[in-house]
Amino acid sequence: MSDLDPETFDSRKYVEDFPKLQRAYKNAFETMNDAYDSELVHAIDQQVLAESEPFYEGDGEFRIELPEDPYDRLDGVLVDEAKFEGVMETYVEELKSEIARTFSV
């Protein structure tokens, strides 16, 4: 979908394009799970990113809006906030790259 624009993406992301978004999230999860603590990656996936919102900014750039206080959402995983922030930042960048790749922008 090379003619993607922010309005089209926003109106279609949870309808026609939902399978593509699911694939992008799954690919990002698999990449992160191979490189980082799987317990932390799974917690971020289920407790933070499950409530995230992807937006297309245009020019091939995506933004991921996270829920409020993502670190405080973690339950059942002991990790210091600095480590969490580093993994979370990397995960979001990986996710944005996967979405861009999936949507061919």
Residue 6, Cα to own-chain centre: how many angstroms? 17
User: Does the predicted model carry a pTM greater than 0.85?
Assistant: yes
Q: Is residue 94 part of a domain?
A: yes
- Let me know if residue 38 belongs to a domain: yes
Answer yes or no: is 1 within a domain: no
The answer to whether residue 93 sits within a structural domain is: yes
Query: Please, what is the Cα angle at 67 between 80 and 54, to 5 degrees?
Result: 115
Which residues form the domain of 66?
6-102
**Mean pLDDT computed over 33-52:** 96
Interatomic CA distance for residues 56 and 77, integer angstroms? 31
Alpha helices in the chain, H assignment, sequence order: 6-12, 18-35, 38-47, 70-73, 81-102
What integer best gives the mean pLDDT of the chain? 94
Average confidence (pLDDT) over 27-41 = 96
- DSSP secondary structure string for all residues of 65-91: EPPSSHHHH--S----HHHHHHHHHHH
DSSP 8-state code for residue 49: G
By CB neighbour count within 10 A (0-12 exposed, 13-18 middle, 19+ buried), where does 100 fall? Answer: middle
- pLDDT of amino acid 4: 85
Domain count, the chain: 1
